[in-house]
Structure 1
């Protein structure tokens, strides 16, 4: 069977390659979940590849009004409207003559335009005697016959108002369920592929967002196939950034591709140590910081106060800083964004400054620890050496005091360091090596000073 790639970011990855030509698929979910936007996005993508799409609306609202909203999306190309993406209303046929008249309309228009994609938007099954189950089953059967005969893929969009399409769901090739999940004051959009004939899919629920460019899907990270990458060449270790500490670590630093958890209260110097680690990078082997709370300007200022040339490193291209926005992003959205930045920039070192950024998401209480484990593995197979900082107080606020010290998380990391402040000496810190996997250290505790020279062992 020939695949029909949607080209929607992340969706074909969930479907292991896309839809099948000639298949009939139900997209079900509440109003505003993104079904109409997704269908239009797929239609215009098909048109840009030289195909035709027929979009039939079954609602009282005209397709012209719907199209006005679509024009704000970057994928909507006005020159393709009614040339390769054809809009048609089937509302009158449905109201006056029922589903049989709609089938006749679709058959004639498909034959006329030779469209490879048919979208029927707004089918609602009422509980009145005039529209019994048999009529709806016959409608879906006719759609399947049309799709099969003409090699046309069909998307059937329904909001579930009235009575949801139950009896005929077993007849279709796929069922995609959309939901707008709300947890306390936060929400996230999710999709689940409940049925898909002809291929395995990524099971479970996956998050997605609606942007000015259409929908973008984020497959559940820990459910994806294992990534295989070629080993990166280079020094077997990378310096942490504090010379005397690196000298005490056998090999001169952290093992390439390892992961480190740096635990400490706010103000203990975690961000400065993270910047010191990243600043040893070069434009040929660049580094990346995912900042949770501080802006680029604040990081540049903090670096300057400690003698760290952050601004120069950013200008040269050796250091990239991505500030996590205040928008309500989903856990997988953040994870996929980080991996995408790593791949696009060829990053060798990563600092995630604030695990609370990941913990303060809807899905973290259920699967956050497994997600972290998979994220670390994905960084490792890319040859990326990573450092994640953890503030116990911020972690407690994000998780409701669930393991605020990260004891459960520590098992996923190769190395664990603790950074504490001396109450009687504001510029003094204590750096302790709590764990080293497949490595050794001549010393496990260091008294350090944080001043205009950065972190130095005293």
Structure 2
């Protein structure tokens, strides 16, 4: 659902929570009543206070009413280490009110009257009621509880005030309060095996579209950061595909000739190979062609930036110099517990900010290991690669094959052909008691290419592509054998004819 055409920017109340406004298509709707629910420890208090301090910093005024929650002294003590906390805004712009005694003495009617009076007196444009479950327990009937929320809605419109109601997750699938409010945001802390990941889901949001489904979030010293699910955020690329016909050099002259000029511009390639085959080395050659016109980025998981620069120097590549010139950079993430959408959102953001045109992702396996739901990975990569294409980025992924010598190649992920335009294989080959390296170009979409299987060596000058394996056959099995003399002669004649033509 798209936002209403009559909706104006001032009708939104930005939350100031990174990523949440993207999920909400711009923020909360002004004068709306929203429920934030979740189990104890899910992050409700941090989220609501983060919204409060951002609202105050934007010129708004806040009333934060608590009901059987932690004391205000304890609440502020726990908020103080967070970077969004600003004590100077208390109590002039953010006032904390303990309303439990009022609820005990005057019931729901007395609570509504106090909230109305305090909102009006303080000219509050944001009201937070922390402890809605206490209100529900104090209501004699479900009708009384619904009436309480209805009266808050009337007051929100009258006072031009947006309201947040904090409560524990209801045991009922749909409680009476859910039917009354304008939106429901649920926070959860899910666990898969030994791993836990926080998740936010917008269950309901009247009057606007939003990104559906669960979105990971994390809590740090900066508060809450929501990481929108990439395939939801980028379900449609941000712009039209430029579809350029230009070629981009791989940094290896002979490989460029095999590809009739290089990789197609703004295409995506995957380089398969076992450990030690030289996948990273090929990627470093590609990045060594970075320039002001084509800034490069290495996004890696395994080798740290200092080790990458040492490796490049040993290959005779000038990546250190290019880094100092500002035309090449690196982002490294240790292959430990990571949030998949955190990696994806960061990558897309950096590519946009720096105008990256050459991207080398060393280890697509790092994305796969970061996925709490592995079945998501193909959708995630599809959204990522589609966005990179329309941004004019030529991308190379590496992916590790488990078997070093084998007759059958098992790809680490399914549906790869639909995700990438170009596929390359690096293999180890045993021939005459020696181990050789072989490169094969398997696919270049919508383009001709040289399919000759070539040996390559990694030297102090980088990758050196050689001629074909003369007199050998069954190379792709990993155990090549000497071809018969007659067959070798036929291959030689065919090769000479091909070169002469």
Normalised TM-score (structure 1): 0.92
Shift of the 129–87 alpha-carbon distance from structure 1 to 2, 3 Å rule, reads closer
Residue equivalent to 1:408: 415
1:420 Cα shift?
1.5
Aligned with residue 348 of structure 2, among 339, 342, 354: 339
Aligned with residue 279 of structure 1, among 278, 288, 291: 288
User: Are residue 447 (structure 1) and residue 455 (structure 2) matched?
Assistant: yes
Distance 1:222 1:307 in 2: 39
1:235-261 C-alpha deviation (Å, 9 max, x unpaired): 8111112111111211x1101100001
Contact 1:24 1:172 in 2 (8 A): yes
User: Are residue 306 (structure 1) and residue 322 (structure 2) matched?
Assistant: no
Distance 2:85 2:242 in 1: 41
Contact 2:241 2:389 in 1 (8 A): no
Secondary structure of the 1:50 match is coil
Residue equivalent to 2:438: 430
Shift of the 32–347 alpha-carbon distance from structure 1 to 2, 3 Å rule, reads same
Distance 1:130 1:136 in 2: 6
Contact 1:124 1:164 in 2 (8 A): no
Name which one, 1 or 2, has greater alpha-carbon Rg: 2
Distance 2:454 2:439 in 1: 5
1:359 Cα shift?
0.5
Contact 1:427 1:449 in 2 (8 A): no
Residue equivalent to 1:417: 424
Distance 2:40 2:139 in 1: 25
Secondary structure of the 2:419 match is coil
Residue equivalent to 2:97: 88
Aligned with residue 108 of structure 1, among 81, 92, 117: 117
Shift of the 129–22 alpha-carbon distance from structure 1 to 2, 3 Å rule, reads closer
Q: Say which is worse superposed, 219-228 or 256-265, in terms of deviation.
A: 219-228
Aligned residues: 449
Q: Say which is worse superposed, 262-271 or 125-134, in terms of deviation.
A: 125-134
1:137-159 C-alpha deviation (Å, 9 max, x unpaired): 22211211211111100000112
Contact 2:242 2:390 in 1 (8 A): no
Distance 1:60 1:344 in 2: 42
Secondary structure of the 2:443 match is strand
Distance 1:296 1:129 in 2: 59
1:232 Cα shift?
7.0
Distance 2:441 2:373 in 1: 27
Distance 2:196 2:157 in 1: 39
Secondary structure of the 1:285 match is coil
Query: What are the ranges of 5 or more consecutive residues in structure 1 without an aligned counterpart?
Result: 395-402
Contact 1:126 1:163 in 2 (8 A): no
1:378 Cα shift?
0.3
Aligned with residue 241 of structure 1, among 241, 247, 251: 251
1:318-357 mapped onto 2 (5 Å cutoff): 318-326=327-335, 328-357=337-366
Secondary structure of the 2:309 match is helix
Contact 2:439 2:456 in 1 (8 A): yes
Q: Say which is worse superposed, 368-377 or 71-80, in terms of deviation.
A: 71-80
Q: Say which is worse superposed, 166-175 or 375-384, in terms of deviation.
A: 166-175
Aligned with residue 117 of structure 1, among 85, 109, 126: 126
Distance 1:414 1:163 in 2: 49
Secondary structure of the 1:38 match is helix
Distance 2:396 2:16 in 1: 34
1:436 Cα shift?
0.8
Shift of the 346–174 alpha-carbon distance from structure 1 to 2, 3 Å rule, reads same
Distance 1:72 1:194 in 2: 31
Query: What are the ranges of 5 or more consecutive residues in structure 2 without an aligned counterpart?
Result: 1-6, 404-409, 467-501
1:120-172 C-alpha deviation (Å, 9 max, x unpaired): 11222588686432332222112112111111000001123787981121011
1:31-430 mapped onto 2 (5 Å cutoff): 31-125=40-134, 131-160=140-169, 166-224=175-233, 225-229=235-239, 236-250=246-260, 252-326=261-335, 328-393=337-402, 404-423=411-430, 428-430=436-438
Distance 1:98 1:40 in 2: 26
